[in-house]
Amino acid sequence: MNYSDGERIASVLNDLGYTQTNDDTKADLIIVIACSVKQSAIDRVYGRIKNWNKIKETRPLIIAITGCLLPNDKPMMEEKFDLAFDISELSQLPSLLKAKKDDFKNIKNYFDIHPIPKSSFQVYIPIMTGCNNFCTYCAVPYTRGREKSRASKDILAEIKTYIDKGYKEITLLGQNVNSYGNDLDGEIKFPELLKQVNDIPGNFWLRFMTSHPKDMSDELIDIMKTGDKICDYLHLPVQAGDDKVLQKMNRKYTIKHYKSLIKKVRKAIPNISISTDTIVGFPTETKWQFYKTKRLYKQMQYDMAYISKYSPRIGTVSAKLEDNINLDEKKRREKSLTKIVKKSGLKHNKVLLNTIQTILVEEYDGKYIIGKTRSAKAIKALSRNDLTGHFIDIIITDIQPFSLSGKIKEASD
């Protein structure tokens, strides 16, 4: 969601006459998008403020923060930043910057702001904002509000516009895409939305994130199986391998339920790539409870995992709990899970050796093209030409746990 937020912020600033720079020292305006889960990310921002304030001593510079701002964050943020605003208030940014423009008078909400995609072939489409789940470690329900689905007709119209422009990859976004439409009377639900996007004519890949295990349905799995444009990839966060820890996180599912979902998905789509999110060192997580997470990792055989050391996000429910697991132990647990997922990732990738895999090329460094397969496998290959934005067939010649290498398939191969 932060990526999509950035594209919408860029759209507003572009209409105000700003141009983007990656150099802090040349910026007239810096906008920070806050993280919903990690306090450590917020702490890193505080470290950057010192450098920005030094710049402000020599010339004008406005620094602002938005994204996932808890009510308790705002007073402190307003002391450190020139502006602190909710992302839902993005349409008010022009007036906040004292640069009012008539174009913004009729903009009422986040979805009305048309983003400026950073890519000419990949685009992220928010289908909803907010969250109703109230995971104890997460700030989203407090900062983005309750779930608000976007009208499907608007989503489909926007996607068709990008397909007509030749975009090759569409990613549907939401904190919990599986609950899309539940807040709108008469609106279609996520499986049907996914099917309708899949049925749009064109040569493109379709992805979505993030799914919540408690809301993932058999109907969605069936659509994933039959949709010819839907990528063979699922990101399904587990967060912990113990039911009591999941209860403290307020995740609202059991490990038994989670395992049954993975079993159904793998049966329906045998070659699917599956990744997950896990937090290690959640308050009171015992060594036995962590062992259960390790055991789950071995059973699930993930292709990839995003493992975070617990960091209390001030203002969330879990921040009231004693952070009783020291950093060294969190690092040890993170390392232990990484070792397991490297082994399973390598096992999955071995099957791809000497096969032909189609990638969407995402970048070119002058020597290698780099892209991902339908199953989100990262691949690089030597190339004399910049093929960014094109589908290219690659013969896999080398494998690593989380990436592959190969050569471009020529017509004679």
Beta strand 148-149 pairing with 128-129? antiparallel
Strand order in the sheet with 273-280: 233-235, 273-280, 304-309
3-class DSSP state of 5 = helix
pLDDT over 90 at 189, yes or no:
yes
The domain made up of 110-350 has a fold known as pyruvate-formate lyase- activating enzyme (3.80.30)
Rounded to two decimals, the pTM is: 0.78
Please give the class, per CATH, of domain 356-408.
Answer: mainly beta
Question: pLDDT digit string (tens) for 45-62?
Answer: 777 887 888 777 667 788
- Label residue 366 exposed, middle or buried (CB < 10 Å: 0-12, 13-18, 19+): exposed
- Give domain limits for the chain: 2-104, 110-350, 356-408
Beta strand 83-84 pairing with 122-126? unpaired
Cα–Cα distance measured from residue 212 to residue 136, given in angstroms and rounded to the nearest whole number:
15
Torsion of CA 177, 91, 122, 129, to 10 degrees: -10
Contact between 319 and 310 (Cβ < 8 Å): no
Instruction: Supply the DSSP string of 331-355, one letter for each residue.
Output: HHHHHHHHHHHHHHHHHHHHTTTT-
17: left (phi over 0), alpha (psi -120 to 50) or beta: left
Cα–Cα distance measured from residue 346 to residue 302, given in angstroms and rounded to the nearest whole number:
10
Distance of CA 60 to the CA centre of its chain: 34
Question: pLDDT digit string (tens) for 283-311?
Answer: 999 999 999 999 999 999 999 999 999 99
If we measure between CA atoms, which residue out of 116, 144, 107, 114 comes closest to residue 128? 144
Question: pLDDT digit string (tens) for 64-91?
Answer: 888 877 777 777 777 788 888 888 788 8
